[in-house]
Structure 1
Amino acid sequence: MRATPEQISQTDEVELIIGNSNSNFSGVTSTMLQVMSQQRGMINLKIMGKHFLPDPSLAISFWQTALMCRKPLKSGKWRIFHARRVDEMIQGVILKYIFRAKIKLVFSSAAQRHRSGSTLWLTRRMDGVIAVSNRSATYLADPPAMINPHGVQITDYVPAKDKLHAWKELGFGGKYGIGILGRVRKQKGVHLFVEACIQLLDKHPDFNAVIVGAISGSNKELVNQWKSQIEQAGLSQRIHFTDELPFEKIPPIFSTLSLVCALSDNEGFGLTVLEAMSSGAAVLATQAGAWEDIIRPGIDGYIVPVNDQAAVTEKMDLLLSDPEKLLTMGQTGRLRVEQQYGVEHEAQRLVDYFRSLQ
């Protein structure tokens, strides 16, 4: 039986320090918090940085970390310092090589770009490097110790018991809902989604679309152009922009959708696909992030090349042509997430790897 966080914190020394250097909330922050919520029942931990913590007692400062890690654990083993950002690697290197902290350094790499010379140097100071996808592993100079994909809180993202009724209750019209969620900008492939909907919704009258996400000032002119195109096509009542919504409203929208599109040019990992699949939606995604690792074409949805309007439209047409197949894809996707991509699986794999390093 897994111990509770309270039982662990009362009986064990701190074995894991997690980097938390960014004062701006990001996808990395979200991942760290979700995984940490599971790890608390597996290993005694502290978080170096106070940003966005649900429990302030988890926070530890750089200087407190340096002091605590002057000596190893009572067992003689060294603590683990887990970095997910370059500046956290810098913190770890300073702790270990300047302050002589008795720590093993681990870096999780999500970036899908070739690293600079300084980042490569930092990466080679790590005791272990983890890639979050097969694609991100190809951008590392040396093979990673393991590939550990992110997971999702499957209790937060659940299918609506009756998707058609739940979609109707949202008030966007239509019998079925399709959507794209995230920041509303070209890099996220929103233009591909809009154009595909303009071409296809008259052919598929039971489907309406929703575009969920913040619109920055620099993208307002572009979004206005899309809205103008939608209006000219006579689809203003069928393609809806919600603008930014509070987080608590996002999972309920996911739960109603029959199809979610994720059409980014690039992603570090891209949790949107897992959130959609966990919510029982079929997915149409580009060859970005970890999506090729996750989606089984024709089973959970389809993968298309990046920035390929024809391919997006073709596959969306195929998906909208068979609502029953959409439902089946959503069900198989949910099962896949339950079996392989729950955040608890990600957390356990990390802890097992940390134990192997100590």
Structure 2
Amino acid sequence: MTAPVDLSRVHVVVPNFKKRLSGVTSTIIQLVPLQEKQIGIATLGPGLPDHLPKLRWWQVPGLLRRPKTAMVRVWHARRNPEMLAGVILRDIFRAPLKLVFTSASQRQHTGWTKFLIRRMDAVIATSVKTSAYLKVPNSVVMHGIDTDRFCPPVDRAEAARQLGLDPGQLYVGCFGRVRHQKGTDLFVDAMITLLPDHPRWSAIVAGRATAEHKDFEAQLRDRVKKAGLAERILFVGEHKDIERWYQPLSLFIAPQRWEGFGLTPLEAMATGVPVIATDVGAFSELIEENVTGALIVRNDLEAMIAAAKHWMGNEVALEKAGKAALDHVHTHFQLAGEARQLGDIYHEFLGGETEDNAI
């Protein structure tokens, strides 16, 4: 376990009160190492790797004192419990905090969430669509991607071989939690329809099915087995090195029925892989239609089959779209750009805080 950070030099606190891995947790894990090079920042809570700067729970009372070189700290919440904790610290215990909330939700907020949002000092939306659901002034800061971690392989066939896959096959992937909301069943059904007519292609489903979704996954596996495709539609589970599993892909499908933001299309495009995605979350703001991939109507199996058939049957178009996808991410969705925009918001509250004060 790493030593606790020097609280007097922490100017931004990033709480993470959910132990299980989620999109929010993944965002924090990727952003904070970049942010700590620019500003004194520390996380608080379970479920985060040891290489991140962390406050210990016993240090929380120290938040009642202001840090060095600033009159306040920023408390950057991304969930309701974290907003509530910030409100309690600031309004009840009089901690010198400015509260920032990032929202990825694309649905009407509950009364409780609206109550908490109204008490924030700044609100960030992760997309233009998300911004439209907020009833308070907000700034749009879209997620970026770590293009050092997610990058094309030197040789896709060799990348497949290193994962124990057939290097002679082309692969289409669907990554994320295995559940109805994520549309995993649509992907599987599309592949059951398409693969018999596309012998050079196989499919990869990567992600975890939590306990309440184990039966859902079992039903999908059973459908695949009955179709005689168990060796070509592969369920590979959850992987911490998921970037390696993008590298053998020639096509990625994001079949979600609902999504807040959705990082998987960016992860795929950063690896030079074109993306077919449903029009949910921020996907319409990430994908250039017929340039980096295609958008389809949510929950429409026939549309997914038609789009996948088009791309799977045109390797020249796939290669061209893959290069366009890579350029698109590098131009518009670098993780460093997201960190810089967040830093600008923090500095509005912190005044003269600079990277010289970083931990």
Counterpart of 2:341 in structure 1 is 349
Please report how far the alpha carbon of residue 57 of structure 1 lies from its aligned counterpart in structure 2 after TM superposition.
5.5
Determine helix, strand or coil for the equivalent of 1:247: coil
Please report how far the alpha carbon of residue 241 of structure 1 lies from its aligned counterpart in structure 2 after TM superposition.
1.7
Provide Cα deviations, 1:88-138, integer angstroms capped at 9, x if missing partner: 111111111112122211100112221111211111111100001122212
Please report how far the alpha carbon of residue 192 of structure 1 lies from its aligned counterpart in structure 2 after TM superposition.
1.2
Please give the residue correspondences for 1:255-270 in structure 2 after superposition, counting only pairs within 5 Å: 255-270=247-262
Provide Cα deviations, 1:160-210, integer angstroms capped at 9, x if missing partner: 112134335544445211111122222211111112112222322211111
Higher RCO (Cα < 8 Å, 6 or more apart): 2
The AA in structure 1 aligned to 2:285 is D
**1:67 corresponds to 2:59:** no
Determine helix, strand or coil for the equivalent of 1:94: helix
Determine helix, strand or coil for the equivalent of 1:316: helix
The AA in structure 2 aligned to 1:263 is P
Give the RMSD, CA atoms, in angstroms. 2.3
Q: For the Cα contact (< 8 Å) 1:167–1:176, is it kept in 2?
A: no
Please give the residue correspondences for 1:1-358 in structure 2 after superposition, counting only pairs within 5 Å: 13-49=9-45, 51-55=47-51, 58-61=54-57, 64-71=59-66, 73-74=68-69, 77-144=71-138, 146-173=139-166, 174-242=168-236, 244-248=237-241, 250-358=242-350
CA distance in 1, matches of 2:195, 2:294: 19
CA distance in 1, matches of 2:164, 2:35: 39
Pick closer, same or farther for the CA change 1:241–1:351 going to 2, 3 Å: same
Please report how far the alpha carbon of residue 67 of structure 1 lies from its aligned counterpart in structure 2 after TM superposition.
3.4
CA distance in 1, matches of 2:269, 2:196: 26
CA distance in 2, matches of 1:86, 1:221: 30
Provide Cα deviations, 1:281-312, integer angstroms capped at 9, x if missing partner: 11111112211110011111111111011110
Once structures 1 and 2 are overlaid, which stretch shifts more, 12-21 or 218-227? 218-227
Unaligned 5+ runs, structure 1: 1-8
Residue identity (%): 35
CA distance in 1, matches of 2:343, 2:52: 22
Provide Cα deviations, 1:310-345, integer angstroms capped at 9, x if missing partner: 110111011111112112212211222222222211
Q: For the Cα contact (< 8 Å) 2:29–2:52, is it kept in 1?
A: no
Pick closer, same or farther for the CA change 1:218–1:48 going to 2, 3 Å: closer
Q: For the Cα contact (< 8 Å) 1:273–1:291, is it kept in 2?
A: yes
Unaligned 5+ runs, structure 2: 351-359
The AA in structure 1 aligned to 2:127 is S
Pick closer, same or farther for the CA change 1:179–1:74 going to 2, 3 Å: closer
Q: For the Cα contact (< 8 Å) 1:284–1:302, is it kept in 2?
A: yes
Provide Cα deviations, 1:1-48, integer angstroms capped at 9, x if missing partner: xxxxxxxx89x8332122122233322112112111100011112223
